[in-house]
Structure 1
Amino acid sequence: MVVAAQSARLILTRLHEVMASRTHAQGKLNQVVEIIGESLDSEVCSIYLLREGVLELYATRGLNQSAVHVTRLGVGEGLTGTIAANIETLNLDEAATHPEFQYRPETGEDKFHSFAGVPIVRRERAIGVLTVQHVEPRKYVEVEIEALQTVAMVLAELIHNAGLVDEEDLDPRGSSMAGQQVLDGLKLVSGLGCGRAVFHQPRVTIEQTVAEDIEVERQRVYLAFDKMREQIDNMTNQAEFGVGGEHEEVLATYKMFAYDEGWSRRINEAIDSGLTAEAAIERVQQRTRQRMREIADPLLADRMHDLEDLSNRLLRIVSGHVGTAASMGLHGDSILIARNLGPAELLEYDKRRLKGVVLEEGSLTAHVVIVARAMGVPVIGRVRGVRGQVREGDQIVVDGDAGKVTLRPGQAVLDAMVTRLAAKREKQAAYAAMRDVEPFTRDGTRIEVMMNAGLRDDVAMLSVTGADGIGLFRTEFQFLVSAALPQRDRQTRLYRDVLETAGDKKVIFRTVDIGGDKSLPYLTSKTSREDENPAMGWRALRLSLERGGLLKVQARALLDAAAGRELNVMFPMVSEVWEFDAAKAVFDGQIAFMKKLKHKLPLSVKYGVMLEVPSLAETLDLLCPRVSFISVGTNDLTQFLFAADRANPALAERYDWLSPAILRFLKRVVNGCVGTGVQLGVCGEMGGRRLEALALIGLGVRRLSITPAAVGPVKELVRKIDTREIAAAMNGWLAQPPASMRAELQAWAEARGIETE
């Protein structure tokens, strides 16, 4: 490969002189084809550039000069068009035998048999094609192809700087990006948003390809490799990954690539040819992408994607672009594009301008989804390859309700979106008018409509929505977005701020629900590392009771924050009554300690539980005398009842909240609380959907805690319901379930003029 580097370096040295000259762009390209042709002893060298959506012959040595600016090929048409469309290299000893071969008589190329061509790529998109031809039938040797590929990188810089191509019309495969494209994904957070594409990890644009000093470039790469490997070592050593399991193999492969000498050697060889560090990394990355397109094995393709990620990381380090788009700020309405995100990373963005998030990965239980839902930002996940199909600044419509992403939407889609947004705003205005209206049903039954929260800013929505209070304050958000365990004083400040902002409205604090699928790098359990199903593993109250200090600190923080007020505490994922007793004993111990120190205490402390584990429903007679309230968490309850992991996209929407199994279970819980004085509510997503809320009220549920956006719609729904009528209908359906409970309930509502969407 030394010969290849020397050959490429010789060409680059001469090209550098051409690029530095004052000659006009056409003259420079005319000189370029002569230099390449002479250096490779090739009878023909031609440059095609993408202009107005077609490949135009822009300069040639060996073909008829009269064909320049006359011969044009569509992307995908002929050998040259195929190279641009697939961003691939062709090397043929007999061009006419290729199925895509097309003869253009005006070029005079009929006497040439051999053909080789490489794409001229900028920002992962073909902006032209560099070709060579020879009379004798022969394949070009690897040294020559390597030299052509290296030269093509430099040409991309020259062509871009000269403004010779219409880069705005390109897509990742070289074809038109002006057209609309619809991608399907997994619905993670509902909602509708439109904005310009912004990459969470901004792409590095290489502005200089030819090195001034090769040794300086080599040292830059060495230092970047050291820093990248340090980052990878830190990542693989993080405690949150645990020991054993499939992830170890994945991380081992990732680390293997980071330390692969072959990869670093290829980058060094590219530097030897005269490229800058950035251009050398990109040069090797282009070869990797070409190999990825040839791999049919999905497992091998995934491993090549790992190498692609590492290349991007190395490129950002060597160029000094290590920050995310959040550090630069959003300019206008934006749709964030990322492979994946953490909750803290999402919170760095201005939610006034962030209109949606599109992830290549992501799951229903991911931390970022919880935060995005609280922020009211629609999210779609599992959109494979989206980062390679969209360009920074492209307009995007995110339909979180349908799980669809529309790239570069046409006017019809934009008009439909505007109409939908207008309809939503009109409804929201109607709901906002109900802010101060108490939610009484037609027969005079008062339904408590509370809201869920987890961020300090969420509490302000109490006054905006007119919710009765906060039925679920997720205290774990503070833990999820912190780099270390939040100290007691920080927790106290947050809880006090929440209570003060809420005023005289009730706030129910749920103790931390972390562990399992919400693992934290700074807080792990030996047992949790063995979880094969984290949602049903060592999490929530189980972890808090194991880590007694964690619950003690939180108890003290809550008691301090609520001094002189009422404190409502709810324990998550209680499976048996003794777990509630143990958790309450921690609070009792802190109360006794504070009394001893003569600290000010809350006026009263009321305790409750989340009913998420079905086993707890079998001991309601034992539990109810101990608690003031029970809140059913329908999200986890559903997956536990059906043994269906919500993070699995194949099961995410398979089981209906309006199935007889769920509704009968909930009815049994309602009946178990009747006459006990215990307030029963629902704080899962189920209560925030109008049709499901109708069913819950029919079952006898009188408290709903839902997302702030759902408060208005549910309050409006409540005022249209006669609880006696819907209760009678529900009792009949539960006794003799119809083929579709959802369809039956929908028809019942429509017959009474009750909107359920």
Structure 2
Amino acid sequence: MPLTAAASAREILTGLHAVMAARGNAQSKLDRVVDLIADKMASEVCSIYLLRDGKLELFATHGLRKEAVHVTRLAMSEGLVGTIAAEGRILNLAEAADHPAFAYRPETGEERFHSFAGVPIVRLESPIGVLAVQHAEPRRYADVEIEALQTVAMVLSEMIAAARLVDGARRGRLRSAGPLRLSGLKLVAGMAKGEAVFHEPRVVVEHTVAEDIEAERERVYGAFRKMREQIDNMAKEAEFGTAGEHQEILETYRMFAYDEGWSRRINEAIDSGLTAEAAIERVQQRTRARMLEIDDALLQERMHDLEDLSNRLLRIVSGRMGTAAQTGLQRDTVLIARNLGPAELLEYDRRRLKAVLLEEGSLTSHMVIVARAMGVPVIGRLNDIRHSVEEGEAILVDGDNGSIIIRPNRALLSGFEHRMALSQKRRAEFAAGRSLPAKTKDGLRVSVMVNAGLAEDAAALGMTGADGIGLFRTEFQFLISATLPGRERQHRLYSKVLDAAKDKPVVFRTVDIGGDKALPYLSDVHDEAENPAMGWRALRLSLERSTLMKAQARALIEASGGKVLRVMFPMVSEPWEYEEARALFEEQVEWARHAHRKIPKQIEFGAMLEVPSLAEMLDQLLPRVDFLSIGTNDLTQFLFAADRSEPRLAQRYDWLSPAILRYLKRVLDLCRAHDVPARICGEMAGRPLEAMALIGVGAENFSITPAGVGPVKAMIRSLDASAVRSRVEQLLARPPKDMRRALNDWARRHSVTIG
């Protein structure tokens, strides 16, 4: 055997190139290939098995009996060859018969050969065959011999695929070819189906044999330089701007990007005669094979990081750096990524994007906040999702349960489509009633508005049947920007929203950033607080950074010129905070008036009750506000001391608990006594049963997700408000063990539409 894998492989590749270029059919070429490999590797046996009709068939051999060709066939996982193909692993055995998977086939005449080494022939990450060598002498093969076999197998895969000798890469796989169910963390609810599309598409290596080795080496050097620049620049980007998980990923990326061993192995593969792309893929295949041998979960994760970088290097060297958003979605798509930023998400065609699946992701990430507003289901923490599915494969997404099915069979698809059809039927019924007023059977008119955060949401307001926008999240513009949005940019957005809403009211919430929505361009030591939701955020941040709030106030005032401006301040803890914020706005009105700018014809000021302490000061606050919004998402987690981003606590509190309903009833009664409208904002009001209970404690104004308008309206129109208020009063006086069940039973008995 020659001294180096590169020298051995280069000799074989030179011969392979000549074989591939010569005349003759595919079978005669494979016969010459096994003779060539056996000669150059001084091997007594060289055999090629290819996947056909679901079996691994002996296609060509040097050293075994020729009559066994096209006769010997092994199932996936059967024998040593079947094990290599099914598991995508390398076998290197001094005594083949001692391996538990060994299967003797007498027609081959292989009983006199003791040692065995085999590598998978892979195409598009799926096995299409096996390349094996054997010797009579019991011995393990040297690493250089195995590496030479892997290099040859890569080139063979191109030749075999071009000759169409196999079933196709999808028939036999490194992973199961049947349906695969995975569970993750529910980030945004909803059901969807579509084809898998990678946010960063994989590069298919088309040409493996290099014509000019030095030119290929220069391409790889250039790609490494560019990749290292990108990794160094990541520290400045929003997605990697904070400490913690992302910082650890970044450090791992840097470690691998500057790892001389990795770049040396790629160079050695080029020395063997491979193109730059094939060399990177060749080293990547070796990494995958090593991953199968590693039991340590941490080391496996690090290997995945290296694979991510390999894919990045491949995209750079091949000049295919665009994301799937830039190339455009052609079909209903389930997008797959490790992580995703909010700006990247907004680049996608909302008509085609049906769901997003992430290997990481968290309930409080910026992207999830935007996806929820877009109505796109998202599931995170799907370990190894990018290595469990191929581009174009069908995926069913159940965001309600945080699960997916990859490659569904007919029965699974039918059941899922039936559930989706029922859901769509309900949505159609709700849509039919969207233009009808939200009025109870006994004549109570309930205001149903929507929460929004994008200009497109305002444009679609008429389609929802909502009475207006009860909460416009102005921070979305800040979350998707790399720098602080200036007054002019904000002005354009607010003007666009008001114009799109036409004569329907829009309530702008001043920016709610900081804490769990930290921005890299507003970094501060408080951003790393242990409890960010209760930290330096929202109105607290805006009052301290008064220039930020002044710019937003001026943008809102000028955008509302000649119209009614409705503005509310988030996370008010005490009345003085509201007073300071209102005074700041009123100062900007005076500035605009003196500057001869157009000003609103009227301004309505409101506060958000999210911090429980504010309820104790409502007698002081209510005479000074035009309306109050009750933010049930934050209020609930503060009341129960239960972080809503912590999955283990998500089911520990219930919006229908007597504690919540009693608290809300007290607040609503106080607002009614002061003749101040109170609006319930958040997920609680968007659920029919919960909305029914809210009407029971006196609520008459809601602001919810657009998807909830139809179901909530249907519930309202089937409800007798006075009856539910009487029943809820009884239940709160003597709370049952299970309030949810009691309300559910009452709704069913009174034919209330709660879904």
Q: In which range does the TM-score fall when normalised by the shorter chain?
A: over 0.9
The residue number in structure 2 matching 1:5 is: 6
CA distance in 2, matches of 1:747, 1:41: 81
Q: How far off is 1:671 after superposition?
A: 3.0
Shift of the 741–392 alpha-carbon distance from structure 1 to 2, 3 Å rule, reads same
Corresponding residue of 1:380: 379
2:55 aligned with 1:51: no
Deviation at 1:144, TM superposition (A): 0.6
Corresponding residue of 2:649:
651
Task: Show CA shifts across 1:417-462 (max 9, x none).
Answer: 3333333333223222222221111222111100111111111332
Partners of 1:522 and 1:166 in 2: CA distance: 53
Post-superposition Cα deviations, 1:92-141, rounded to whole Å, max 9, x if no partner, equal 00011111111111211111110111111122222211111111111111
1:521-670 alignment to 2 at 5 Å?
521-528=520-527, 530-670=528-668
1: distance between equivalents of 2:625 and 2:59?
A: 81
Kindly tell me: are residues 282 and 607 of structure 1, through their superposed partners in 2, closer, same or farther at Cα, counting changes over 3 Å? same
The aligned amino acid for 1:536 is M
1:271 aligns with 2:284: no
How many residue pairs were aligned?
754
Q: Any idea what SS the aligned residue of 1:362 has?
A: coil
CA contact (8 A) 1:84 1:174 kept: no
- 1:425–1:245 CA distance, 2 compared to 1 (3 A): closer
Report Cα offsets for 1:471-496 as digits up to 9, x if no partner.
01111122222232222222112211
Counterpart Cα distance in 1 of 2:659 and 2:64? 76
Deviation string 1:625-644 (CA, Å, 9 cap, x unpaired) is 22122212222223323333
1:309-335 Cα shifts (integer Å, max 9, x gaps)? 111111111111111011111112221
1:182 match: 181
The letter for the 2-side match of 1:99 is P
The 3-state SS of whatever aligns with 1:323 is: coil
Flag as ranges the 4+ runs of structure 1 deviating above 6 A: none
TM, length-normalised to structure 1: 0.96
- Name the residue aligned to 2:162: 161
Shift, 1:692, TM fit: 1.2
Question: Structure 1 stretches of 5 or more lacking a match?
Answer: none
Amino acid at match of 1:322: M
AA partner of residue 39 (structure 1):
K
Could you say what secondary structure the match of 2:39 adopts? Answer: helix
**Which residue in the other structure is 2:703 paired with?**
705
- Residues 54, 172 of structure 2: 8 Å contact kept: no
Using the alignment, how far apart are the partners of 1:171 and 1:573 within structure 2?
Answer: 56
Larger mean Cα displacement after TM superposition, 287-296 or 209-218: 287-296
| Aligned-partner Cα distance in 1 for 2:478–2:546 | 16
2:299 counterpart residue number? 300
Q: How far apart, CA to CA, are the structure 1 residues paired with 2:731 and 2:371?
A: 36
* CA distance in 1 between partners of 2:505 and 2:89 (Å): 63
Aligned pair in 2 of structure 1 residues 248, 345: CA closer, same or farther (>3 Å)? Answer: closer
Do the aligned partners of 1:240 and 1:520 also contact (CA within 8 Å) in 2?
A: no
State the alpha-carbon separation in 2 of the partners of residues 562 and 756 from structure 1.
Answer: 38
2:558–2:598 Cα contact (<8 Å) kept:
yes
Q: CA deviation at 1:174?
A: 5.0
Describe how 1:241-640 pairs up with structure 2 within 5 A: 248-528=247-527, 530-640=528-638
CA distance 1:215–1:551, shift in 2 (3 Å): same
Identity rate of aligned residues, in percent? 64
**Tell me, what secondary structure is at the counterpart of 1:538?**
coil
**Distance change >3 Å, CA 2–CA 233, structure 1 → 2:** farther
Superposed CA offset, 1:587-619 (max 9, x none): 111011112122221111111122222222232
Aligned AA for 2:106?
Answer: P
SS state at 2:520 partner: coil
Q: After superposing the two structures, state which structure 1 stretch, 403-412 or 200-209, moved more.
A: 403-412
Bigger drift between 594-603 and 195-204 goes to 594-603
Amino acid at match of 2:399: G
Aligned counterparts of 1:641 and 1:102: Cα–Cα separation in 2 = 66
Q: How far apart are the structure 2 equivalents of 1:203 and 1:94?
A: 39
Is the 8 Å Cα contact of residues 86 and 172 (structure 2) preserved in structure 1? no
Contact 1:461 1:708 in 2 (8 A): no
Alignment correspondent of 1:131: 132
* Structure 2 unaligned residues grouped into runs of 5+: none
More moved, 688-697 vs 642-651: 642-651
The offset of 1:47, in angstroms, is 1.0
The two structures have a TM-score, normalised by structure 2, of: 0.96
Distance 1:238 1:336 in 2: 22
Q: Is contact 1:2-1:269 (8 Å) kept? A: no
Deviation at 1:675, TM superposition (A): 0.7
Residues 1:240 and 1:410: Cα distance change in structure 2 (over 3 Å): closer
Q: C-alpha offsets along residues 381-433 of structure 1, whole Å, 9 cap, x if unaligned? A: 22221211211111222122222212122222333333333333332232222
Paired residues of 2:237 and 2:482 also in contact (CA < 8 A): no
The Cα of 1:244 is off from its aligned counterpart by 6.0
Q: Distance in 1 between matches of 2:295 and 2:451?
A: 46
1:521-575 Cα offsets, whole Å, 9 max, x none, are 33323432x3233333322222222221111111001000111111110112222
Look up the SS of the partner of 1:351 in the other structure.
Answer: coil
Contact 2:240/2:250 (CA < 8 Å) preserved in 1?
no
What RMSD, in angstroms, separates the aligned Cα atoms of the two structures?
1.9
**Change in 2 beyond 3 A, CA 1:203/1:250:** closer
Going from structure 1 to structure 2, the CA distance change for 1:622 and 1:170 (only over 3 Å counts) comes to farther
Does the 8 A contact of 1:34 with 1:45 survive in 2?
yes
| Cα distance in structure 2, aligned partners of 1:272 and 1:720 | 76
Instruction: Quickly say closer, same or farther: Cα 1:619–1:279, change in 2 above 3 A.
Output: same
